[in-house]
Amino acid sequence: MVTIGVDIGGTNIKTGLVDDTMCIVRQSVVPFPAHGGEAAQVVAWQIQGLLSRKGLNETALAGIGLAVPGSIDKAGEMVLKAGNLGFYHEPLISKFRPYFPNVDVRMLNDADAATLAEWKLGALQGLTTAALLTLGTGVGGGLILDGKLFRGGNGSGTEIGHMILRQGGRRCSCGNSGCAEPYASAGALEQEALAEPGFIFSNAKEIVDRAKAGDPGALRAFNRYINSLGSLVASLINLLDPEAVAIGGGISCAGDFLFDALRKNVLPKVYFEQCGSILPAALGNEAGMLGAALWVKT
């Protein structure tokens, strides 16, 4: 049997055919459709394409998991709100199910999917209390609590990026101000660099590379960014005392240069005598697909 894991994003839809050992044996990437209402159909076509290229049909499917960047109703049927997809109370599952009427289909939040994947297959394996932070355009993430994926006390999920880090500070995309997101996302590093007079760069990776090379403006921007990210990680640690905090997203590719600076920043902010580890996420762009596939298997 194979499982399908679908990671639906505002730019692309990634669909993976996952075998029993949780390896993605085949995948396909297509743009998210201009008319979001067609997403269910696009996903169905992707899956049918993957199956036929492997000489399989839907009887080979153990299930289909969908990861979406938004909040989901308690029944797991409706996308309540996914701004990047233009989805508001979108009945995604009931639109999708007719394409695979005999297959188990389940949906979860994409950050929860990535957390589940890192916990079962990646950086957080074997832990009982842990967090994943994904730093991209926004700040996403998820929690493992009491040896389970935590999906919010009322089922609304967890929004680490909207913890308040600097009350009264920068405006956040959510409408509030001072959230962690405008200080700790990859975009926030660019904003720090923009504040350095005369410092010109093309993207976050270049800022990190030039900070590594010792450019003073890049270093100042990088250090301010690390101070904010460090405060967010310390807040999580002081509240939950996790065994580990894993950090994913493009910026985590900065490796030891980032993680050494981050650990050095976090430790003095931690209330406890000991603190869990701070480490890179392991699964990269595949975490969403793998987590979606895992979700339908649990």
* Chain residues that interact with a second copy, rule: CB under 8 A: 71, 80-81, 127-130, 143, 145-146, 148, 150, 152-160, 162-168, 174-176, 178, 183, 227-228, 231-232, 234-236, 238-243, 268-269, 271-276
123, 46 Cβ separation under 8 angstroms: no
Closest CA to 84 of 36, 41, 156, 132: 36
108, 291 Cβ separation under 8 angstroms: yes
Q: Which residue, 59 or 167, is less far from a second copy as judged by CB?
A: 167
Q: Smallest distance, Å, CB 164 to a second copy? A: 4
State how far the Cα of 298 lies from the Cα of 286, in Å rounded to an integer.
Answer: 18
Q: Which residue, 101 or 153, is less far from a second copy as judged by CB?
A: 153
Task: Tell how strand 130-135 and strand 139-145 pair up.
Answer: antiparallel
Q: Which residue, 120 or 151, is less far from a second copy as judged by CB?
A: 151
Q: Which residue, 146 or 256, is less far from a second copy as judged by CB?
A: 146
Phi-psi region of 107 (alpha: psi -120 to 50; beta: other; left: phi over 0): beta
Q: Smallest distance, Å, CB 70 to a second copy? A: 11
Q: Which two tokens stand for residue 65?
A: 């998991």
Q: Which residue, 15 or 185, is less far from a second copy as judged by CB?
A: 185
Residue 86 makes CB contacts below 8 A (sequence gap 6+) with 36
Q: Smallest distance, Å, CB 162 to a second copy? A: 4
Q: Smallest distance, Å, CB 148 to a second copy? A: 7
Q: Which residue, 232 or 283, is less far from a second copy as judged by CB?
A: 232
Q: Smallest distance, Å, CB 150 to a second copy? A: 7
CB atoms within 10 A of CB 156: 15
Instruction: Give the count of alpha carbons within 13 A of 190, CB side only.
Output: 15
| Burial class of residue 200 in the structure, from the number of CB atoms within 10 Å of its CB (0-12 exposed, 13-18 middle, 19+ buried) | exposed
Q: Smallest distance, Å, CB 211 to a second copy? A: 20
104, 29 Cβ separation under 8 angstroms: no
Rg (CA), the chain: 20
Q: Find tokens 């939040």 and name the residue.
A: 109
Q: Which residue, 2 or 160, is less far from a second copy as judged by CB?
A: 160
Q: Smallest distance, Å, CB 126 to a second copy? A: 13
